[in-house]
Amino acid sequence: MGVKEKVVSIDKLSFDELELELGALQRRCRELGIPVLVVMEGLSAAGKGTMINSITLPLDPRWFKVTCIAAPNDDERMRPFLWRFWRRIPAAGRLAIFDRSWYRALLDYQVQDEMEGGSVEKVLGDVRAFERQLIDAGIVIFKFWLQVSKKEQKKRLEKLQSNPATSWRVSQEAIERHWKYYEYQKSVDHMIKQTDCPDALWKIVQTDTMGDASLEVLRHLVETLRDHVLLWEEGHKPGSSVPAEKEMPSSKDAPSLRDLDLSQSLDKKEYAKLLVKRQRQARDLEHEIYRRRIPVVIVYEGWDAAGKGGNIRRLTQNLDPRGYEVIPISAPNEVEKSHHYLWRFWSDFPKAGHITIFDRSWYGRVMVERVEGFCSEADWKRAYREINEMEENFHHFGAIVVKFWLQIDPHEQLRRFRARENNPTKRWKLNDEDWRNREKWPQYEEAVEEMVRRTHTDWAPWTLVESNCKRHARIKTLDTVIASIEKKL
């Protein structure tokens, strides 16, 4: 049964009827593949646990997950602020409930007026971008702020403390937040004002009386989910009929494929000498970034047979394998397809002091998926902004981002294809898809030019590498990585 038949006014539904309706809506979201994210926030003793219990009772537990967001552990502190939240966003058809979220950390930092990895205002901007990206991908976001009076908060904290079974829940931090109640309230007002967006509005619920508060939350969930389900049933899926956003402006300093001199080369003797020297420098710098806890992200993109694999091998040949990881990116699997397309890349962000090398990357959205029609025009046009925002988030955390496009001409690619065909040890590298992609060279070249123009930034610049000569290409990428790290140091 679709939502179109459910016309009973929300205000007329009883608590029990709202629970039944919420359960039905969860099943419908599951059928339609709608992901739902519920953020439950509030000061200590505002009733978050009680409220989460209230809204999950009518739900099928197989299709939701509650995550309690505590203070970051050591591993999480070595990643960007939003890393641990990106990894927990819901897949299509699933519901995720966050008991606390990125907002609790923001509040604490606002009161302390400090934040590791960037100022509070920068991180607020990252949060707004994060939520907008999730919404654009079809995730329904609920943000509840449970408001409790200082008098009621004190009474609840004292009750918890008086019971040996619950006294552990009242930490010293919770007591200190109670002492700073009005200071925190001022920060709450600022935070809500800065992050109250049309498609991710805050719902402020007074919880001094929990029964009334639970009814209010259930009504809001049912009413909003009804609207979203109805839109999906009518075919208004995110991205399917949404007009393309205003395009990202082109970078005036972006390099162009047309300006490359592909005749550049390096003789074997000079190459051998430079390779030993550059690999030694790279190894020393790997130790230095580990000591200083600086993460490095290196992206390799380029034509088929442009030499990415051999280039990566020369870059890593003398490095400590405990300090780097190479991530080969292929077409997304079913689990990855059920999430936001950036989800799998966020998961592989390196720890502070480590290097992650992506052999192909998130730029597949604006190249392969664009040219082959695997996503809508609105999707790939929006991706320029989303990618820039993600890389800026890395930059705010202090990461070095290096991006390579390995360029060869069609004649050199054909020569390498033929060589692979005739070499039994390399034949596995060539497949039908490589030949199909070659037939679309003009379309891919247009996509690459636009990709570079729109995603060449101060914090994540592109380096175009002349790769008809593999020796020249390998030394140029090593030189670029070394220079980028040295600049940061």
In order of their start, the domains of the chain are: 3-233 (3.40.50.300), 257-488 (3.40.50.300)
Over residues 308-331, mean pLDDT: 96
Over residues 321-344, mean pLDDT: 95
pLDDT tens track for 453-489: 999 999 999 999 999 999 999 999 999 999 999 999 9
Over residues 46-65, mean pLDDT: 95
> Would the pLDDT of 96 be above 50?
yes
pLDDT tens track for 264-279: 999 999 999 999 999 9
**In this predicted structure, which of 64-73, 302-311, 354-363 has the lowest mean pLDDT?**
64-73
| pLDDT at res. 431 | 83
Measure the CA–CA gap between 99 and 45, rounded to whole angstroms. Answer: 13
> Would the pLDDT of 378 be above 70?
yes
pLDDT tens track for 71-92: 888 899 999 989 999 999 999 9
Measure the CA–CA gap between 3 and 29, rounded to whole angstroms. Answer: 11
Confidence of residue 241 (pLDDT cuts 50, 70, 90): very low
Beta partners for residue 357, in sequence order:
298, 326
> Would the pLDDT of 242 be above 50?
no
> Would the pLDDT of 4 be above 90?
no
pLDDT tens track for 117-145: 457 778 888 999 999 999 999 999 999 99
| pLDDT at res. 8 | 60
The pTM of the full predicted model, rounded to 2 decimals, is: 0.89
The mean pLDDT of the chain is 90
**In this predicted structure, which of 8-22, 42-56, 376-390, 410-424 has the lowest mean pLDDT?**
8-22
| pLDDT at res. 237 | 72
Measure the CA–CA gap between 376 and 202, rounded to whole angstroms. Answer: 30
Longest dimension (CA), the chain: 84
Closest C-alpha to 296, from 305, 307, 287:
287
